[in-house]
Amino acid sequence: MLSRDPTFLGTVAAVSGAACSVHLASSIQSGLSIFQGQTYKIGQVGSFVRVPQGYQDLFGVVSEIGAKAVPDNLDSAGDTGRWMKVELVGEVVGETFERGVGQYPNIGDSVHVAVEEDLHKLYDIRGRGHIVIGKLASAESIAARVALNELVTRHCAVLGSTGSGKSTTISSLLRSITDSSRSADNYPNARILLLDIHGEYSKPMADVAQVFSVEPRHEEDTLFIPYWALDSDTLLEFLTGGLEDNSETAFTDKIYEQKCVSHELLALPEVDSGSITVDTPLPFSLKQLWYDLIDFEITTFEGPDRDQSTKQTEGDPNTLTPPTYKPHGLGSAGPLINQQAIG
C-alpha cells in the first residue's frame, strides 16, 4: 500500500543519532512526484522529508543522495541500489512544529516527501513579532516569515558572491519590516539606521528612506558628523596631523576634562560619570580646548615664590583671542616662563 502512495520515498535502513539512511523504493522511477496537483522533486538535497511515527511526524532534511557508490556494501543500498541520507531536524505533534527529536525512527519506517500541507506546519508561523519576507521556493503559497526580535537583537549576516543579490535581499528585508502593503505584520514606525558605505541603497530605498550624505545629491540631505563624536586619535590626526606622545597626552587630558564638565552641565543621567573616557561622545568646545592649551603654554609667573600669574588680559575663547601675560625676562629676574609647558 505504501508504494501506491505518491508521497512514498522508501524505508529507513539505518539510524545513527539524528542521521538516517533511507533505501529508495523501486516505485520511484523519476526525480519528480505529483501530489494533489503539485510537483515535488524527489530526494533533492536540502528538501524536507516526513517520517510518520503514529501521533507525531518526524521531519528531516536530505543531506546526501546516491546510487550504490558510497555505501560500504551493495546490500546497504537496498534492492534498487539507490539511497539517501537524512538529517532529522524536528517533529510535529498535532499542528505544532518543534525543533529536536524526542522519538527516533525504527528500521523499516516509511519515509515520505514533505508536501505543501506538511510545509505549512514547518514554515507558516503566525503571530505578533513575525514579518513576511517572501514566499517559500518549494511551495509558493506559503509565506516565509522571520522573528523580528531575534533578527534585530542577534548577529545576522547575508552572505553571497558578487552579483548574487545581497543588496536586493537586504532592501527587500527592510521593506518587509516597514511596508504595510506587504503584510499586516509590520512596523511602519520602525527607525532603521543603514550605513550605506558603497551607496547601494539610496535609489532602491529612496521612496521610504531619508538619505544623508557628505556629498548630497538630488533630494539627499547633508550628513554632519560632529567632531566630538570622533575618537580622540582620529580627531587629533585631523586637527594636528600627528603629535608627539607628550603633546598628545596634553590634548587628551584637556578633552577628557571638558567632556566631564559637559556631562555635569548637560545633566545626562543615562551616561554614568564613572564610565566617561576621552572617547565618550559628549559635546565639548574646540575653541575652549584651544584657549586652555594656549593659556597653559604662554603663562608667566613672578613673585617671591614665582607662582603669581602675570596675566594682563583674559582673552576670549569664542573669538580665539588668547590671554596676554607679561613677557618673560632674561635670567632669574622674571617674569618666568611656565617650566611645565610642552611647547
* Rg, Å, the chain Cα set: 35
pTM above 0.85, yes or no: no
pLDDT higher than threshold 70 for residue 78: no
Nearest by Cα to 51 from 62, 64, 40, 41: 62
Of the given ranges (26-30, 93-97, 325-329), which has the lowest mean pLDDT? Answer: 26-30
- 271 phi and psi, to 5 degrees? -110, 115
**What is the C-alpha separation between 285 and 316, in angstroms, rounded?**
13
- Amino acid identity of 141? S
Mean pLDDT score of the chain: 84
16 CB-side CA count, 13 A: 5
Q: pLDDT (tens digit, 9 = 90+) per residue, 16-28?
A: 988 999 998 887 7
pLDDT above 70 covers what percent of the chain?
A: 87
pLDDT, position 74: 42
Q: What does 37-86 look like in DSSP terms, one character per residue? A: TEEEETT-TT-EEEEEETTEEEEEEEEEEEESSSSSSGGGGTTTSEEEEE
Q: pLDDT (tens digit, 9 = 90+) per residue, 170-225?
A: 988 888 888 766 655 667 777 889 999 888 888 888 888 889 988 888 888 998 88
Q: Are strands 139-147 and 212-213 parallel, antiparallel or unpaired?
A: unpaired
Q: How is the chain split into domains, by residue range?
A: 2-119, 130-221, 229-337
Strand partners, 92: 57, 97
pLDDT, position 185: 62
pLDDT, position 146: 84
Residues shown for the chain: 343
**What is the C-alpha separation between 119 and 17, in angstroms, rounded?**
24
Contact 118, 71 (CB under 8 A): no
Q: pLDDT (tens digit, 9 = 90+) per residue, 124-139?
A: 666 667 888 888 776 7
Q: pLDDT (tens digit, 9 = 90+) per residue, 44-59?
A: 788 889 999 988 899 9
**What is the C-alpha separation between 188 and 218, in angstroms, rounded?**
25
What percent helix, strand, coil does the chain show, rounded to 5?
25, 30, 45
As a whole number of Å, the end-to-end CA separation of the chain is 95
pLDDT higher than threshold 90 for residue 283: yes
Q: pLDDT (tens digit, 9 = 90+) per residue, 140-160?
A: 777 888 888 888 888 889 999
Nearest by Cα to 258 from 282, 233, 234: 282
